[in-house]
Amino acid sequence: MFHFESDSSEYQNYFFDAIRLLARGLCEIDDGRENGNLAGLPASWRIASGRLQLISLANHLTVRFPLTLDEQINWWSLPLNKWQFPQCEKWFSYEEDESPPILYDKQLGITDYCVNIAQEGDDPIYEQDTRAFMALRNKLKLAGKESVYREVRRFLIEHSTLDPNVSLSIDNNNEELLNYEGELRSFYEAVPSYYAINGIINLCPRCGWTLKKTKEGRFECDTEKCRKLIGEFETKKKHIQSRKLMRVKRGIRRYIVDPGLTEMSLYRTIVKRYLKTNLKVELYPEFDKFDLRIQFEDGEVWVFDLKDWSCSASLAQASPHFLDPHSWKKAFLVFPDYKSDAYFDRFMYLYKPKAQKGVQVKSVAQTLKAIDKKIKLLRAGGQ
């Protein structure tokens, strides 16, 4: 029987592990539904359900966590701070500008928050197409082809859709990427025919993925972040006239493209802003050890991890960690500028007690100011 005290770290870890497993299970269920494959329920969902039922029993909850899908839907669509488990109200409270900590929207399906939870871990790869991506990464890592891996990841982020009849657009003169063209194209799928309206497929202006027309006649991206940042898709959407368009598979869009948009934005900004300096900028160095690494002309190294999570409390619980602290002088957790002060403050309140030494938490604008300051010091002959 479960013996952890409700306010202990053991209970907290056990509960969050169960929630992560549940989120992964929901992602797998959603992926199966999208692909018409509902032959069986994923093991992650079954294990999570059992653990949450066990916690219910141990705490003598009047309403226990159910073990069937139809009963669970009401739980998934309820904010986690409203779940009756001990400490949930404290752990999952959220600010007005944040997305509610909900795993499933009855109209839109699994939420970005659910995907965020499922991503936690060293390699957030729980779907077939993203496992294939990791297999390619490992293959390239064994071959020492870091530049090819970087271009594979960059290509996917910058090309959410692809015309199968057009040759790959190779940037940075890295023609070796063509040696992996078959594997790269395997990360794409045909856009379902019902996305085409009079021969036109509409695309999200932020992520570039396909927009679906709702029953109410509106166009929407299935990513909550895009819906929040874009607002009205009708006047901003892009479109392409093609009946054979390919798009990155759902798992690639969730785990590679979506976070990559924030990472690529900061990378491009730094490269453009400091083009005339001796700053060395690396994207996804050492096969994703960091999102970005920069080296100043005095040899000092800074590393960056971009975080664009829906819920600050969940991110703080994940306790982002930078590897090889001996290899960098400063490390930065970087939030997009649109995150509010309340989001930042709540994250710091929960993260500070377990913060890694040498790590700073900043917005994109604050990060650029820090780089500016360092470069000005070097130009003035300081350190």
Which residue in 342, 355, 336 sits closest to 94, CA to CA? 342
Task: Assign 247 a pLDDT band (cuts: 50, 70, 90).
Answer: very high
Question: Do the Cβ atoms of 266 and 304 come closer than 8 Å?
Answer: yes
Residue 233: what residue type? F
Question: Token pair of 236, please?
Answer: 């901003």
How confident is the model over 321-370, as pLDDT tens digits? 899 999 999 999 999 998 888 888 888 988 988 899 999 999 999 999 99
pTM of the model: 0.82
> Averaged over 210-236, what is the pLDDT?
84
Task: Assign 36 a pLDDT band (cuts: 50, 70, 90).
Answer: low
Question: Alpha carbon of 66 to those of 13, 45, 57: distances in Å?
Answer: 21, 12, 11
Question: Token pair of 201, please?
Answer: 């497929």
Q: What's the full length of the chain, in residues?
A: 383
Q: What is the mean pLDDT of the chain?
A: 86
d(CA 265, CA 308): 12
Better-scored residue on pLDDT, 65 or 381: 65
Better-scored residue on pLDDT, 265 or 170: 265
Query: What count of other Cβ atoms lies within 10 Å of the Cβ of residue 212?
Result: 14
d(CA 351, CA 345): 10
Query: Residue 124's pLDDT is what?
Result: 47
